[in-house]
Amino acid sequence: MLLSQHGKLLVKAIDSNLRPTSWIPVRLLASFAQTDSSFFTPRVNKQRLWEDIHHSCQWGKGERWGKGETDTGMSRLSLSDSDRMARNWFEETTRSLGCTTCIDAMGNTFATRKGRQQGPPTCAGSHLDTQPTGGRYDGILGVCAGIEMLRVLQDEKIESEYPIGVINWTNEEGARFPISMVASGVWAGRIALERAHAIREVGGGKQTMRQELERIGYLGDMEASYKAMPIGAHFELHIEQGPRLEAKNQKIGIVQGVQAYRWHTITVKGRDCHTGTTDFANRSDAMLTAAKMILHSHRLAAKCASLASTGILTLTPGSTNTVPGTVCFSLDIRAGEDGRLMRLEEDLRADFGKIARNEAVDDLNDARTIGKGCTVEWSLDAPSEAIKFDKDCIACVTDSAKEIFGTEFENRTQEMTSGAGHDSVFTSYRVPTAMIFVPCKDGVSHNPVEYCSPEDCAYGAQVLLGAVLRYDKLRAEKSK
Ligand SMILES: [Zn+2]
């Protein structure tokens, strides 16, 4: 049984909070008794969480999309003045909730609340920076739910076994300084500090990350490293940024890991020639060949539940009446498992070669389109292996969701793989990590209209709190 500082059973705190006005449907009350009866999580406050989210969104307001007070997007680029204001609020608020805060050389801010025993904190973390045309929930929800967790712990006077922390990671979006998740990457020892400090802002500015960290007062004294600032575990609540939860009217995604991806640049070389005087049979049409490859990557990926996308395409010489001799395009392929991704890549490499040489691949090189052939070259730009999150952390998330949904658990939750990268990818290299997803309207994110309802924000924060407290308890049991 979880006890508060004064020995009060926490089940009491739940009873007192489970008024008909509280956000947990009263009909679910009965189900609490059916789950792990030795663990009760105090309730988060839906309204207070909602107010924190939108209070923090006063800094860096973006495009207006509706008439309501909170109907604006966010444009809070990393290390801007508005980011500084949001960071100041994060520090002040967590300190007022009994935390000590420290800032590392990447501006990552760690707020830590004491536990009964010494040790690295079990953390909830996410980010307060946004895309230039971002929304109010991507990252912000995760940090604010961490703050709500601290508020509940303070209100209920809960003494955790080990310290509990909340982290604001710097420049997760990579929108202003173009490496995503760069600061958690430095913390994890996967990206060199010097390289990160030297990143220059996009969009014509000249400032580097280090200069901007210094300017806004967030170039911390502490080394940016999991060795200097060890944590016990990392839990991240995030909006799904996709449509799968909403489509099934589900509330919680129990994230098992992050899919693997490999980014390539493909170069197709043919021969420039006159569009009017060269018949198809005598062309080496690099653009037509690239188009067949892009279509084929889509078809093959679809066959093996993977993804393939082209976002950049350049061709030369770029003239209406010249068949282009050279085309470069990006190819981003993704899959839930490394093996599946590599098989897809091997098949694509073999088939792109055939397409270029005018050999048969499906209907792509039927007689009417055959020309003289091209060459194709691949260059790997960025590989990222599939991430599997920690079993214990996932179990804590699962049990926390079971406590809330009871017999409705199967209907209300879904095991998922994250399609996007998050700071949790880097923390998972060093500490047990898991993520929790909540639905967002129409699956829309990185857009001002991004929306997660107050109820869904609270469900996510509730699962986060329950997972962190369970993991804290698990750590104590394991150390016995
Ligand atoms: Zn995010």
pLDDT digits (tens, 9 = 90+) for 171-212: 999 999 999 999 999 999 999 999 999 999 988 889 999 999
**Contact 103/158 with Cβ under 8 angstroms?**
no
Ligand 1 centroid vs 408 CA: distance in angstroms?
Answer: 28
In the predicted structure, residue 15 carries a pLDDT above the cut 70: no
Burial (CB < 10 A; 0-12, 13-18, 19+), residue 16, is exposed
Residue type, 470: R
Q: Which of 106, 111, 198 is nearest to 147 (CA)?
A: 111
Token pair belonging to 52: 């924190």
Distance CA 433, CA 238 (A): 13
Q: What is the pTM of this model?
A: 0.85
Task: Tell me how far the alpha carbon of residue 216 lies from the centroid of ligand 1, in angstroms.
Answer: 22
Q: How far does the centroid of ligand 1 lie from the alpha carbon of residue 140, in Å?
A: 8
- Report the separation in Å between the CA atom of 206 and the middle of ligand 1, taken as the mean of its atom positions: 25
CA of 75 to the centre of ligand 1 (A): 13
Question: Mind listing the pLDDT tens digit for each residue in 237-296?
Answer: 999 999 999 999 999 999 999 999 999 999 999 999 999 999 999 999 999 999 999 999
Contact status, residue 158 vs residue 40, Cβ threshold 8 Å: no
Q: How far is the CA of 227 from the centre of ligand 1 (A)?
A: 25
- Binned at pLDDT 50, 70 and 90, residue 30 comes out as very low
- If one counts every other C-beta atom within 10 angstroms of the C-beta of residue 162, the result is 22
Distance 239 CA to ligand 1 centre (A): 8
Q: Cα(16)–Cα(34) distance, rounded to whole angstroms?
A: 20
What angle do helix axes 286-303 and 338-356 make, rounded to 10 degrees? 150
Q: Which domains does the chain have, with CATH numbers?
A: 10-258+386-479 (3.40.630.10), 260-384 (3.30.70.360)
In this prediction, residue 21 carries a pLDDT of 32
Task: Please spell the DSSP secondary structure of 5-62, one letter per residue.
Answer: TT--BHHHHHHHH--TTSSS-GGGHHHHTTS-TT--PPPP-HHHHHHHHHHHTTTTEE
Instruction: Give the DSSP per-residue string, 142-211.
Output: HHHHHHHHHHHHHHTTB--SS-EEEEEES-SS-SSSSSTTHHHHHHTTSS-HHHHHTPBPSTT---BHHH
Cβ(468)–Cβ(164) below 8 Å: yes
Residue 372: DSSP 8-state: S
Question: How close is the Cα of 367 to the center of ligand 1, in Å?
Answer: 48
For residue 151, report the distance from its CA to the centre of ligand 1, in Å: 23
For residue 439, is pLDDT > 90?
yes
User: How many A from CA of 173 to the centre of ligand 1?
Assistant: 7
Contact indicator for 407, 208 with CB cutoff of 8 Å: no
What is the Å distance from ligand 1's center to 143 Cα? 10
Ligand 1 mean position to 111 CA, how many Å?
A: 19
pLDDT of residue 367: 76
State in Å: Cα 172 to ligand 1 middle. 7
Distance 241 CA to ligand 1 centre (A): 9
pLDDT digits (tens, 9 = 90+) for 35-51: 455 678 999 999 999 99
Average pLDDT over residues 418-424: 94
Mean pLDDT of 146-159: 97
Q: Which two tokens stand for residue 160?
A: 């955790």
